[in-house]
Amino acid sequence: MTLIKSISGIRGTIGGAVEENLTPIDAVKFASAYGTWIKQQRNKENYRVVVGRDARISGEMIQNLVMNTLVGLGIHVIDLGLSTTPTVEIAVPMEHADGGIILTASHNPKQWNALKLLNSDGEFLNGEEGQKILEIAESNDMTFAEVDDLGKITKNQAYIDMHIDEVLALPLVNAEAIDKANFKVVVDGVNSTGGIAIPLLLDRLGVHTEKLYCEPTGHFPHNPEPLKEHLTDLSEAVKKEGADLGIVVDPDVDRLAFMDENGEMFGEEYTLVACADYVLSKTPGNTVSNMSSTRALRDVTEKHGGTYEASAVGEVNVVSLMKKNNAVIGGEGNGGIIYPESHYGRDALVGIALFLSLLAEKKMSVSELKASYPLYFMSKKKIQLTPELDVDGLLKAMEEKYSHERLTTIDGVKIDFDNSWVHLRKSNTEPIIRIYTEAPSQSEADTLADRIIGEIKHIANI
């Protein structure tokens, strides 16, 4: 069992020993540190924090602990209940709140949960802010409110509908064309809050929707990471229903993947490529994704006369570079769409609306759309870490081994070859080294990944 404290929040498995897992004591301690940090930002009379959660089984318990900890600090809480990460992100500025907390472990299995922390703009904290909260948590330098100054909890369960209103109001969302296209879609909500939000959005867009695992019970019917090997039921349902496409999201609805009319994956990497193609065709400009994302985004951006830049992995890093480069769209290759016209956060609802607008205007099938893009294939593998492994030493050794190639070391080690690349980095959220590769064919990508894993294991003597 595991507890991971990082600048992006605290993430761990439920149950077990304090400081080794995400126990009630750890949740209270970290919420206390965040609330203390919130109060340090500005000296004011009333502080407000928005809190929402995905549907995982431990969510209600953790949310009650977190909310009442904030109440104990004298902070008022806006309780969104079952919600999505992007919904909480847009709620923070709409509520003029001082911050927000999303209780979700994203794509991790059901035994995991986490506190994701937002600033007053509804964006993830940067490294300096996250480090400060870790320091407060370790120092126990927290002072709670006296009895007459306790905060209050106010429930507001209208924000998913308000989020959908905001998406439909975006100028590039062509709701009329989507309605006329008469799409039939199968949605896999992995029994979390995507099962609430996505069908509501599609209904507003006039899309005929077949629901698969859309009951928000928190009992995930398959591994919740939206990868091909986990989505055989969706593939079968798309073919059985004769649907135009399948849609799948992760438990907190910030990752988005599509399936074509044949039950084949569109490719989560190409979610951003397609949405960017649509946005750039209407509003030319620059794009940003992280270093582990496909080269196809660069190709599409340059086709539209824009400039592509790659950031370190992590949403906050992508957002920072997007702001610096005035990117009109960006995101991450795991199906995360960041569209500044809406907000600076990965948002599956925005991605669905943009993708369907593109599909409706192009009047082509999903498989035909995929075939229109530069074709790259990725392999995403990992090596489980053990305490005795010197990860930094391993990465340094690989950097030296490939010093004659084009290297980028702002986030692990990325090695660019002429027709392929490999990116090695230690995960911020799991005790693993991630190995991502991309090449002109799947066999080449897999072979490159396996070769690199073999070289790492040889260096580490494992």
User: 117-143, pLDDT tens digit by residue?
Assistant: 999 999 999 989 999 999 999 998 999
Kindly state the average pLDDT of the residues 10-35.
96
CATH class in words for 163-371: alpha beta
State what percent of residues in the chain have pLDDT above 70: 99
345 with 123: CB under 8 angstroms?
yes
Residue 338, pLDDT above cutoff 60: yes
**Fold match between 3-156 and 377-460?**
no
pLDDT at 9: 82
Amino acid present at 18: V
Best CATH choice for the domain 3-156 from the list 3.30.70.260, 3.20.20.105, 3.30.540.10, 3.40.120.10? 3.40.120.10
Instruction: For the chain, give percent helix, strand, coil, nearest 5.
Output: 40, 25, 35
pLDDT at 391: 86
The C-alpha atoms of residue 8 and residue 430 are separated, in whole angstroms, by 12
pLDDT at 233: 97
Residue 7, pLDDT above cutoff 80: no
Helix (H, G, I), strand (E, B) or coil at 444: helix
With a CB cutoff of 8 Å and minimum separation 6, the contacts of 446 are 379, 437
Reported pTM: 0.93
pLDDT at 154: 98
Computed over its alpha carbons, how large is the radius of gyration of the chain?
Answer: 22
Residue 238, pLDDT above cutoff 60: yes
Greatest Cα pair distance, the chain, in angstroms, is 66
Name the active-site residue from 106, 292, 311, 320.
106
**Number of C-beta neighbours around residue 410 at 10 A:** 12
Residue pLDDT, tens place only, 346-394: 999 999 999 999 999 999 999 999 999 999 999 989 988 887 788 889 9
And the tokens for 24? 């009630």
Q: For residues 388 and 35, which has the higher predicted lDDT (pLDDT)?
A: 35
Q: Where are the beta strands (DSSP E) in 112-178?
A: 112-118, 153-155
And the tokens for 389? 């492994």
Interior/surface letters 221-246, b for 16+ CB within 10 angstroms, e for the rest: ebebbbbeebbeebbebbbeeebbbb
Give the angle 175-157-199 at the CA atoms, nearest 5°.
Answer: 35
Residue 1, pLDDT above cutoff 60: no
How far apart are the two ends of the chain, measured CA to CA in Å?
22
- CATH level 3 topology of 377-460: TATA-Binding Protein (3.30.310)
Residue pLDDT, tens place only, 244-269: 999 999 999 999 999 999 999 999 99
Under DSSP, the state recorded for 372 is T
With a CB cutoff of 8 Å and minimum separation 6, the contacts of 371 are none
And the tokens for 408? 């980028």
Instruction: Give, in order, the Cα–Cα distances in Å from 174 to each of 171, 351, 354, 357, 401.
Output: 8, 13, 8, 5, 50
Domain extents in the chain = 3-156, 163-371, 377-460
The C-alpha atoms of residue 126 and residue 144 are separated, in whole angstroms, by 25
When pLDDT is cut at 50, 70 and 90, the band that residue 429 belongs to is low
Residue pLDDT, tens place only, 66-84: 999 999 999 999 999 999 9
Residue whose tokens read 């569209």: 339
Which one, of 440, 422, 437, lies nearest residue 375 by Cα? 440
Kindly state the average pLDDT of the residues 221-237.
94
Which one, of 438, 409, 412, lies nearest residue 424 by Cα? 412
Residue 3, pLDDT above cutoff 90: no
Instruction: Please spell the DSSP secondary structure of 165-227, one letter per residue.
Output: HHHHTSTT--HHHHHHHT-EEEEE-TTSTHHHHHHHHHHHTT-EEEEES-S--S--SS-SS--
Kindly state the average pLDDT of the residues 186-208.
98
For residue 338, which phi and psi values (nearest 5 degrees)? -115, 115
Q: Which helix (H) or strand (E) holds 380?
A: strand 377-384
The C-alpha atoms of residue 225 and residue 274 are separated, in whole angstroms, by 20
Is residue 106 part of the annotated active site? The answer reads: yes
